[in-house]
Amino acid sequence: MIKKISLQVTPENSDNKSYLIKNIANILSIKSKNIDHIEIIKRSIDARRKIIKINLIVNVYINQKFKPKNDNHIKYQDVSQKEKVIIIGAGPAGLFAALKLIQNGKCPIIFERGKDVRNRRRDLVKIMRENTINENSNYCFGEGGAGTYSDGKLYTRSKKRGDVNEILNLLVDHGADSDIKSKCSSAHWNK
């Protein structure tokens, strides 16, 4: 049986599996040994009071084995001979536009005026140390777009801008740690 529960813990215990299992067993009035697996599906911070808490939504596998999804078998069609579509910029929007085009049978061609991330970093060092700006490679232009060197203020969770979870799943499919799905999920994780 899989049960979905909500619980609140301290930041120190939010990643402590044995603590969580013991706490969840207590909440469900079952023995810890009956819990085969816990899967954190949503994590949020409650900082409204002096003592900060972490809110968790957890799938609890009770006397049931957990079978992880192994979706890392992504296959994209060969679109090299298909209709060409020009994309300006290799930021997140440009890269995801290219992916969507491939998924829809078109061949994206990305033009980026800036440099790759490694060489772009050198240009940023020159901005800070020498006050020298490369017009084609700086905070705004280059692989990864403006968000590559963002201070974290550039983000969206808007429902009208698309499914954030689709993006998180795509990142996991390409090798990101699956924890990003619970640490960065939208408020409506399991619609």
Check whether 150 has a pLDDT greater than 80. Answer: no
Q: For 91-123, how does the pLDDT look when each residue is reduced to its tens digit (9 = 90+)?
A: 888 998 999 999 999 999 999 988 998 899 999
Q: Choose between 152 and 12: higher pLDDT.
A: 12
Counting residues of the chain whose pLDDT is more than 90, the rounded percentage is: 49
Q: What is the pLDDT of residue 18?
A: 92
| 189 vs 156: which has the higher pLDDT | 156
Query: What is 2-62's CATH topology?
Result: Alpha-Beta Plaits (3.30.70)
**Phi, then psi, of 87 in degrees rounded to 5:** -120, 130
Q: How far apart are CA 46 and CA 185, in angstroms?
A: 15
- pLDDT given for residue 73 in this prediction: 63
Q: How many CB atoms lie within 10 A of CB 161?
A: 8
Locate the domains of the chain by residue range.
2-62, 84-158, 159-183
**Number of residues written out for the chain:** 191
Rounded distance between C-alpha atoms, residue 33 and residue 110, angstroms: 53
190: pLDDT confidence band, cut at 50, 70 and 90?
very low
Nearest to 166 by CA among 144, 143, 188: 188
